Amino acid sequence: MSDVQPNFEREFQNAQTGKGANPLNLDDAELFLDFVAKRGWAFQSMEASEIKDGREIPNLRSAILGLTNAERQASSAADLYEIAKSILADARSQGREFVFQIWIDRPESILRKPTNGDMAVIAAGHLKR
């Protein structure tokens, strides 16, 4: 990764799309978390890869995929921030090189729990297959 800090304004826009932000190293991912939080947004998901022998190896321990109890039980923007901060701190404690691809959204969209209507739409979609 380059020593030049990414253009966080551009990455903020990219991270709102299906493409996500361009891969960020650990230092930049931590700075980007604060950049995003100051604008009232949160990390919706984050893929992590360890760089080993020039290859990117997926690392689920350092990812945000909405699968952990903490992620499912988050009830505020502060919870989402602390989850991301904790995951990045854990990655740092591993002493390895990582890259992260990040997607963002408004906390209220991330925290929104599915309604019965949502579940009906999901079920109807599965029935058509």
What's 67's domain CATH number? Answer: 3.30.190.30
Asked whether residue 100 is assigned to any structural domain, the reply reads: yes
- Given a contact cutoff of 8 angstroms between Cβ atoms, the answer to whether 21 and 32 are in contact is yes
Asked whether residue 63 is assigned to any structural domain, the reply reads: yes
With tokens 């701190």, the residue in question is 89
SS3 101: strand
pLDDT above 70 as % of the chain: 84
Please report which confidence band the pLDDT of residue 124 belongs to, taking 50, 70 and 90 as the band edges: low
With tokens 């591993």, the residue in question is 94
Structural domain span for residue 29: 8-127
Amino acid 67: pLDDT: 85
The mean pLDDT of 84-113, rounded to a whole number, is 94
Please report which confidence band the pLDDT of residue 103 belongs to, taking 50, 70 and 90 as the band edges: very high
Q: Give the total number of structural domains in the chain.
A: 1
Asked whether residue 66 is assigned to any structural domain, the reply reads: yes
Amino acid 20: pLDDT: 96
Q: Note the pTM of the prediction, 2 decimals.
A: 0.82
Asked whether residue 56 is assigned to any structural domain, the reply reads: yes
